[in-house]
Amino acid sequence: MRPPVLTLGEPAGIGPDIALAAASKGIPFVAFADLEMLGERAKILGIDITLRPIDEDALPCSDDITPKELPVVPIPIARLPKLGIPDAANSPYVLECIDKAVRACHRGHAGALVTAPVHKGIINDAGIAFSGHTEWIARLDGVARPVMMLCNDRLRVALATTHLPLRAVPDAIDEAMLVEILRVLEGDLRKRFGIEAPRILVCGLNPHAGEGGHLGREDIESIQPAIDRMVMEGLSVEGPIPADTAFTPARLVGADAVLAMFHDQGLPVLKHGGFGETVNITLGLGFVRTSVDHGTAFDLAGSGKADPSSLIRALEMARRMAPH
């Protein structure tokens, strides 16, 4: 079985820390990273691990990765990072790691892609337009409508919009885009998760799902028509449901996923119930991609206090999903 490939994200953050911690626990994966940077971080953290340089076209099988060993496709960094201090000069390196890891997936050399957190601001400070991992990877894969979904053992939450200013959300939502998103979500719940007939709950955008148009008309004019189309196609889709009740236990009985209209409508609920146990998944790609549910945590870099739980879950989820 092909192992997942991992990109370490922002080198001044905790990405290298949690990658080394996961590898030290015997979890098989291949890292795309600078060897010297990883070696220095392992010394700082006191992690005893063998870093084995490999060629990107000769990735090992999972069974060939021994405990306490981390195969690394070497990619040179511009400047060795100072702990907790991002450097815009390293932004091209961060993106090169992602680009090459995606290429490994396209060539069938990798079982899945897993990503540690990047810092969007520092990449943009380098003069590179970057709105997020999900959008960047989707462009590399030639996918026009990726869908971000986070999940843990209790709940799956997909997002209609991702990294947008709140004032831009209503203008971004229309019937056509919601239809595309619901088709991707329903299709990947079947294909990637083996759910035969997924049941999806759709949140309204406005308080009380618009209160019959008195608190906004998006729920009537965009969200409801998209749901009606999906129901006509035979999909089990319900809504729009007021977001303040969509996540109550009674509502969630029998639901396989909830589609929230914007980032902070659905994710606070999910993370409150399982921060550090949640996995970020990009749906609609030609390969499996998972990620952590947290950021770069610059204050923890090199401290040994960074919790690798979310990354470990992301690696395990990628391994489970890859055969599908």
Note the pLDDT tens digit of each residue in 127-175: 999 988 888 999 999 998 899 999 888 899 999 998 889 999 999 999 9
255 and 291 fall within a common domain: no
Q: How far is CA 81 from the centre of its chain?
A: 24
Rounded Cα distance between 105 and 86, Å, is: 28
Rounded Cα distance between 189 and 308, Å, is: 26
Q: What is the pLDDT, as a whole number, of residue 276?
A: 67
139 and 13 fall within a common domain: yes
179 and 276 fall within a common domain: yes
* Band (324; pLDDT cuts 50, 70, 90): low
236 and 318 fall within a common domain: no
Q: Are 33 and 96 in contact (CB under 8 A)?
A: no
199 and 211 fall within a common domain: yes
314 and 183 fall within a common domain: no
239 and 312 fall within a common domain: no
Look up the domain containing 6 and give its range: 1-143+285-324
160 and 255 fall within a common domain: yes
pLDDT tens readout for residues 191-225: 999 999 999 999 999 999 888 889 889 999 999 99
290 and 244 fall within a common domain: no
CATH number at residue 139: 3.40.718.10
Rounded Cα distance between 165 and 172, Å, is: 11
pLDDT tens readout for residues 283-293: 999 999 999 98
Nearest to 50 by CA among 62, 38, 32, 59: 38
30 and 121 fall within a common domain: yes
Q: Are 315 and 112 in contact (CB under 8 A)?
A: no
164 and 34 fall within a common domain: no
Q: Are 109 and 57 in contact (CB under 8 A)?
A: yes
308 and 255 fall within a common domain: no
Domain count, the chain: 2
- Find tokens 């098989």 and name the residue: 28
Q: Are 288 and 321 in contact (CB under 8 A)?
A: yes
Q: What percent of the chain has pLDDT over 90?
A: 78
Nearest to 115 by CA among 136, 131, 130: 136
0.85 exceeded by pTM: yes
